[in-house]
């Protein structure tokens, strides 16, 4: 006597939709869920403005209230739609709370936003802010406001006339030091400038913490930058020049801040090493 074999059970067709979980059914077995690819994370995009200013901040709770007040007060009087973005670069002194308190108390005419950057380094913080912006012009300044905020008027004039990059300079004609750096910092700075000129052509001061850009131009330069520390400025300016963009230097009245987070030994040696690597790679 022959025994009929049970009809074969064909497995259900697998879904080919890439963004949905795939269900695999097997007779007598439990349902196994195989996750599909994760959707891309939503970008941290802010509404577009005419000008967006990033302030990288590492343990700047003491200096930020004055800096934010002076910056916002100045921007309120300007014809551009502006925003200030503070990048908390791993602070442990209440920097984030200071920014949130300021934003809550302010009238909002010049929005103040807070974003985080887990990767340490000024370059990483600036890159995070500028690449997540949708504003026409973007840039950054130091939390100590060593360069007067009024320098923005000159920077915006150049940008609106078509410049791709406008940077403050302490070493061009017309610049002056309101409060000078210690002798050690001046000597180290002179040596660094000499080295940086072998990487960035015709720029006298790569390290002044006040730089503004046409966003599309700087975006193309930023995606090629790998430096995360204080030598970031050199690589960014170099990438702009490689892409064919000019750099405008404007003289400033600059004041040294004694409480700077820059360490001449730790950060200085690292910066020299980073610029040497850029020089060898060029």
Domain contains 12: no
Report which of residues 268 and 214 the model is more confident about.
214
Residue 32, pLDDT > 50, answer no
Q: Does pTM surpass 0.85? A: no
Q: Does residue 91 form part of some domain?
A: yes
Radius of gyration of the chain (CA): 25
Residue 25 lies in a domain: no
pLDDT (tens digit per residue) in 242-264: 999 999 999 999 887 765 565 66
Is the confidence at residue 35, as pLDDT, over 60? no
Among residues of the chain, what percentage have pLDDT more than 70?
A: 80
Strand ranges of the sheet holding 82-88, from the earlier edge strand across to the other edge: 112-116, 82-88, 51-57, 137-141, 210-214, 165-169, 247-251
**Assigned token pair, 60:** 């700047």
Inside any domain, residue 40 = no
Task: Evaluate if residue 232 carries a pLDDT over 70.
Answer: yes
Domain of residue 259: give its range. 51-281
Looking at the predicted structure, is the pLDDT value of residue 36 above 50?
Answer: no
- With respect to residue 118, please indicate whether it lies within any of the assigned structural domains: yes
Over residues 153-165, the mean pLDDT reads 98
Residue 248 lies in a domain: yes
CA angle 97, 103, 109 (to 5 degrees): 165
Mean pLDDT of the chain: 83
* Domain CATH number, residue 172: 3.90.550.10
The answer as to whether 16 is a domain residue is no
Range among 35-44, 126-135, 225-234 rated most confident: 126-135
Average pLDDT over residues 14-19: 40
For residues 92 and 110, give the distance between their C-alpha atoms in angstroms, rounded to a whole number: 26
Identify the pLDDT of residue 279: 79
Rank 9-18, 163-172, 266-275 by mean pLDDT and report only the highest. Answer: 163-172
Number of separate domains in the chain: 1
Residue 20 included in any domain:
no
pLDDT for position 268: 66
């Amino acid at each position: 006597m022959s025994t009929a074999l049970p009809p074969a059970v064909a497995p259900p067709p697998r879904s080919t939709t890439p963004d949905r979980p795939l269900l695999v059914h097997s007779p007598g077995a439990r349902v196994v869920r195989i996750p599909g690819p994760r959707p891309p994370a939503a970008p941290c995009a802010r509404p577009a403005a005419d000008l967006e200013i990033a302030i990288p901040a590492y343990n700047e709770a003491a200096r930020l209230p004055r800096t934010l007040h002076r910056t916002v007060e100045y921007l309120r009087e300007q014809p551009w739609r502006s925003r200030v973005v503070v990048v908390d670069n791993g602070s442990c002194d209440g920097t984030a709370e200071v920014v949130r308190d300021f934003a809550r108390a302010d009238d909002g005419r010049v929005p103040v936003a807070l974003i985080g950057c887990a990767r340490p380094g000024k370059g990483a913080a600036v890159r995070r802010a500028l690449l997540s912006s949708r504003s026409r012009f973007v840039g950054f300044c130091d939390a100590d406001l060593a360069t007067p905020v009024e320098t923005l008027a000159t920077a915006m004039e150049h940008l609106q006339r078509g410049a791709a990059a406008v940077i403050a300079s302490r070493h061009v004609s017309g610049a002056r030091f309101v409060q000078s750096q210690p002798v050690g910092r001046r000597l180290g700075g002179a040596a660094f400038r000499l080295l940086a000129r072998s990487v960035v052509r015709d720029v006298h001061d790569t390290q002044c913490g006040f730089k503004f850009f046409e966003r599309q131009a700087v975006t193309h330069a930023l995606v090629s930058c790998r430096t995360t520390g204080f030598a970031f400025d050199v690589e960014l300016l170099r990438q702009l020049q490689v892409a064919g963009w000019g750099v405008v230097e404007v003289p400033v009245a600059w004041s040294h801040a004694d409480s700077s987070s820059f360490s001449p030994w730790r950060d200085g040696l690292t910066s020299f090493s980073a610029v040497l690597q850029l020089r060898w790679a060029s």
